[in-house]
Chain A
């Protein structure tokens, strides 16, 4: 198995040591108020589509340096220093990354690590793509949890390891991603390949492999192919292995060994050693010889390599990527160009993304604000626009509660193998809009144990006149929505800010005791505006 993955994991496991020097931006005193609207609009769009929404600092940086600069930077995440990011005490609380189930990690740690990275990591594209692969190769934590008899340390380690590998390969080659997924105990368990045995094949994984993970539904395969594919993956399963053997599917099992972790295991005795022909009679037919013993492992690996380079796979995955970054119905010519890049580069995701993110369509004004954010993206973009901060794990409690209980997006726990829907119309819903408001209420209801928002300080730093309601509103509008904050929005927001709950006028006095609270209430209103779910 690819040992370079281990190296990357180890690299990631090193705690990011930081001097946490003053990270204050180098902009002028006016902040975003001084940025030309056209540049601000493009920067906002790029940050929303490519990652989890603009922070004030990134808005200024991208507006100043241009989209091409930012895209190039994001395509080389390994060069981006994560050590200076702001919620460092919180991040330290979530380290070190586990290296095996003996480290006793938990689902909560896995979830919160993903929150922290999406919210505050400078590697926005890398995090966005990590979640894209989590969705594309969906596995369900609870299925794993039940399979391992409720052993949380084991189930959480399995999902954490898969998540870290997706992150390490987020911009890598598709074949590697497909292999990481297919050999992950989480996938082996979720789609029943652990029960796939010669003579009694289980076709659950084989079907989704072609339907969801590579070629796309009914796109060049038959039921007979699914049955033949299932034979290729017989003998693929899991067992406990010593730490040094985790990467080797042919290593011995070590049931009950202290320090052992559940890992991918190939059992030749359960493998169907006969010859196999998949996609018989087509231009993409694959014939595999009879393979005895440990050589049988190559059946599945050969299939994964073959599928990775099929034009159907390239087209299917490229359309999903274009859908994520460009539009729910992306231009066919752009999808075709991305597919060609895939086929020319051996499925190099970095190059496919370079093509998509450098295309005129990516920044074209006509495509802006035409997609709906996932619930997770929409919460993240609110927190990021308002520079919300958490320094302790407990401060993410309401974030998680609203996301999971109201918006019903529980990371790593989507039941069906198709992953959380990315398509816009499936994101919208009356319950979702109400849940967003409920989350935004925490901006003004929150106390010490919630995310912290300093809205008054934020608008001041970005050029607002603190006693001028229109100026405060305009500044917040530029931070949250850039060009998509209309005079009509501003009028509603000014009315909100300058009246009390009974609708009576009240002046805005920066010296008043409730000034900070009123600005937080204003932020809660503005974050709830309709464009708060668009991207």
Chain B
């Protein structure tokens, strides 16, 4: 918790000039090509280990419907037939969280094991002011933690890695087919589409190609050899150096002893444990498993996975259907993560954040779905998390006055999404308060009620 901040990035501005925002913009404008040149290979040579805390980020891409994830049991308007004629979850089937208002979608039943242990916090009405209705603009803002008009492209997790973990090449890992924006930045993150494919042929030629020291690709990435290789783009070199570090660490990972039903990774196995027998479910759980292996077995502190398909304009379904299927898989993942991390003694240091770029319209559309909206729901689980429900009670969610509180179509936000990031950075990853502004510019100075801390960690 009180880890000394000795891993400051090269770009960290200690002097009042330039301003932090200007530096972020500069980092972004220079992009990988410019700023990465500050990552000399020697930066990877040593450095102190990171703390023992681990974070897994699960991003629900497409805009998860918050209203049907965390149901406002106390708000009769939600149950009015005209609002969600086919989508609403009957009160009797929702999983009452016992706080006088909120209930989970019944498909989140497997997450109840985590909630009942007091280790799952559900936060309703998470969003921001000036929220866009575009997936891409909003996801960009969520993943950079900087308003889009600031022109910053560096992800917030990449920024944390650059500032707080500059000496550790494996500090953060995007375990997903495409690198998530939150992990993109001048300090290169590990990118793992699948651990099983983090390998080469095994032929001696493969080892020779990768090389070591002054030979092969290792030398090329390091800029060694006669005359150096200053001609390569610094971004490619930095990525190559991280790749070599990843290859070494990931190919030495011990075999996991996970329970067979924790992370079924083909459709038939998913079906056998009551999950949708679908490739998307199997791939996602495979990525969750790989992320856990990396977090447990390497110096990596933050890993990120994502589940696509939450853009339910059509055929969303209520207690059944596609949205329910996806929530079922998320609930399963939370339960498995807790069980396996408990088993390996990691859970006390572990946190899982579940977010999405926005929520959806409160009213059902004409296609049995919902359209892009504003605020949504975030979940946070972990051994050090203070379980509970935020902003889904009669006081913070006034009955009959909330569903259409934004533009007459959406639920207005009460908590800025960056509050969750701030609590994770300070209370979980141990970022000194004085450095918060480096990772989340301006958050520390915000005085609005939507920036009030929630106290998500014990």
Using CB atoms and an 8 Å cutoff, list the residues of chain A in contact with chain B. 192, 195, 197, 199-204, 207, 211-212, 217-218, 223, 226, 328-329, 369-370, 372, 405-406, 408, 415-416, 418, 421, 424-426, 428-435, 437-438, 440-441, 444-445, 484, 486-489, 491-492, 495-496, 501, 503, 521, 524-525, 528-531, 533-534
Contacts and interface: CB of A to CB of B under 8 A. Distances in A.
A447 B105 CA distance: 54
26 contacts: A192-B313, A200-B365, A202-B313, A202-B365, A202-B369, A212-B136, A218-B132, A329-B29, A370-B233, A372-B233, A415-B309, A416-B308, A425-B235, A428-B32, A429-B174, A429-B239, A430-B191, A430-B242, A431-B193, A432-B239, A435-B197, A484-B231, A487-B227, A492-B211, A492-B220, A531-B231
Contacts of A372: 233, 235-236
B246 interface: yes
Contacts of A425: 31-32, 153, 184, 235
Where chain B touches its partner, the secondary structure class is loop
B367 A200 contact: yes
Contacts of A488: 220, 225-229
Interface string B369-404: 101100000000000000000000000000000000
Contacts of A226: 133
B208 A531 contact: no
Given A370-B33, A415-B309, A534 B233 contact: yes
Contacts of B201: 438, 441, 445
Given A195-B314, A200-B367, A488-B228, 16 more contacts: A192-B367, A195-B367, A199-B366, A202-B371, A212-B136, A405-B197, A416-B61, A425-B235, A426-B179, A430-B239, A433-B240, A441-B203, A441-B209, A484-B231, A487-B227, A521-B208
B90 interface: no
B313 A428 contact: no
B4 interface: no
A80 to B, nearest CB: 33
B108 to A, nearest CB: 24
Given A405-B197, A425-B32, A501-B208, A218 B134 contact: yes
A201 B313 CA distance: 11
A524 B206 CA distance: 9
Given A192-B314, A405-B197, A437-B200, A529 B220 contact: yes
A519 to B, nearest CB: 12
A366 to B, nearest CB: 12
A437 B209 contact: yes
Nearest to A442: B201
Interface string B301-315: 000000011010110
A405 B216 CA distance: 25
Given A428-B236, A435-B197, A437-B206, A203 B184 contact: no
A223 B408 CA distance: 12
Contacts of B62: 416
Given A416-B135, A428-B32, A531-B232, A204 B179 contact: no
A346 B198 CA distance: 49
B53 to A, nearest CB: 23
Contact of A426 (B178, B197, B215): B178
A428 B133 CA distance: 28
A406 B204 contact: no
A146 to B, nearest CB: 11
| Residue among A211, A369, A370, A433 facing the most chain B CB atoms (10 A cut-off) | A433
B190 interface: yes
A211 B174 CA distance: 27
Nearest to A525: B209
A217 B139 CA distance: 13
Contacts of B191: 429-432
Contact of A211 (B134, B205, B369): B134
A114 B135 CA distance: 29
B452 to A, nearest CB: 29
A195 B215 contact: no
Given A425-B32, A445-B203, A204 B371 contact: yes
B156 to A, nearest CB: 16
Nearest to A486: B231
A150 to B, nearest CB: 13
B10 to A, nearest CB: 18
A76 to B, nearest CB: 34
Nearest 9 A/B pairs, CB to CB: A200-B366, A429-B191, A430-B243, A501-B204, A408-B177, A195-B367, A530-B232, A488-B225, A431-B191
